Amino acid sequence: MKLRITVLPGDGVGPEVTAEAVRVLQTVAEFAGHDFQFQEKRFGGAAYRASGSPLPPDTLDACLQSNAVLLGAVGGPDFDELPRHLRPESGLLQLRMALGGYANLRPAVSYKSIADCSPLQPAATEGADILVVRELLGGLYFSEDRGFSEEGTSAFNTMRYSVEEIERIAHVGFREARRRRRKLTSVDKANVLEVSQLWRKVVSRVAREYPEVKLEHMYVDSCAMHLVNDPRRFDVILTENLFGDILSDESAVITGSLGMLASGTIGGTVNLFEPVHGSAPDIAGRGIANPLGAIASAAMLLRYSAGLEQESRDVEFAIHSVLEAGYRTADLARGRSRIDLVSTVQMGMQVEKVVSDILDSRHAYHAV
Ligand code: IPM
Ligand code: MN
């Protein structure tokens, strides 16, 4: 198959981790006989520096003309003082809006081999496997009704959702739950917010179309507590934009490092794949960032944008297997005093090796 992928390395550790994700995708293409074409474009702070805009028109055009976008990370302390519309984060929000993907899927799983990285008890996290389905184009992030009062003594944002926006994200949540363990927890603040009362009503109505999925409603504060107390009780968590932003970072605690987490945004014209972690300016350029979140995002790209479910699983298996073999980047060193750390590139090459071995043997088998 032919696939055009726009790569937006972005800022900080973004270029380092996306290079490893591209390495793995190239290997998949080569060994499985696909034609993946990569085109790299400036984005975020890097684009602002070069052209005065975090999302230059040629970057956006390239994204819109591709089959999938692979993004590293954006932002950094250099850009904190810029007006809002020029900030790298604003480029990211503009890109999300332009690509139209409203469903952001953020899996958080516990890996047995790095269970010691989590501050949670291994007994509590073992086997945890959560998918946060975060609404990505609505709520406080995108409301037009926002700003500062004239005197600057107050400021406001508005959380607003339409029935249609809730319905479409609810369908994604239920469909994902149906392919998993058929449990969906819808998270809101319906004891206080009207928008959450509407959310609850609409989700309950959509649930009737998925009788095989068990639905529960939970308040966001309670969910935040249960996530670290008993993460195994969750399968799919369905929630609005800001709650999902917060809960998905929190769910990284289950895995042990934010560097491990992947995300994929679907539902629009072009799907967007990016690790959950940020640009990590403190470790940028040192070659020590964990590329596994970016590589796992590439696995999601294979699943959701290329329809290559088997190859997607192969990459996920490879991630498990390099961790089991003991390879760790610096963020995974917690709890171990003497441990051999690997660099970003070494970690990427280990994953690449496992993936090529799997694909090679499968190919050889089919050729016989
Ligand atoms: C994320 C990030 C972004 C968000 C920022 C960088 C705009 O935190 O992808 O979770 O809040 O969505
Ligand atoms: Mn976030």
pLDDT of 212: 98
User: Do 1-107+258-368 and 119-255 share a fold?
Assistant: yes
Name the closest-CA residue to atom 3, ligand 1.
Answer: 89
C-beta atoms surrounding 342 within 10 Å: 19
For residue 41, how many C-alpha atoms fall within 13 Å in the half-sphere facing its CB? 24
Q: What is the pTM of this model?
A: 0.95
Q: Which ligand has its closest atom nearest to the C-alpha of 263?
A: 1
Q: How would residue 337 be classed by pLDDT, with cut points 50, 70 and 90?
A: low
Calculate how far, in angstroms, residue 244's C-alpha sits from the geometric centre of ligand 2.
Answer: 8
- Ligand 1 cavity residues, CB under 6 Å: 75, 89, 92-93, 245, 276
Sorted by where each begins, the domain ranges of the chain are: 1-107+258-368, 119-255
Architecture of domain 119-255: 3-Layer(aba) Sandwich (3.40)
Q: pLDDT tens digits for 154-169?
A: 999 999 999 999 999 9
Name the closest-CA residue to atom 8, ligand 1.
Answer: 245
Average pLDDT, the chain: 96
Instruction: Specify whether 141 is catalytic.
Output: yes
Calculate how far, in angstroms, residue 136's C-alpha sits from the geometric centre of ligand 1.
Answer: 10
**Contact between 227 and 201 (Cβ < 8 Å):** no
**Contact between 187 and 155 (Cβ < 8 Å):** no
The angle subtended at Cα 93 by Cα 25 and Cα 206, nearest 5°, is: 85
Name the closest-CA residue to atom 11, ligand 1.
Answer: 245
Quote the percentage of the chain above a pLDDT of 70: 98
Calculate how far, in angstroms, residue 144's C-alpha sits from the geometric centre of ligand 2.
Answer: 21
Matching CATH number, 1-107+258-368, of 3.90.79.10, 3.40.630.30, 3.40.718.10, 1.10.357.20: 3.40.718.10
The Cα–Cα gap between 250 and 248 comes to 5
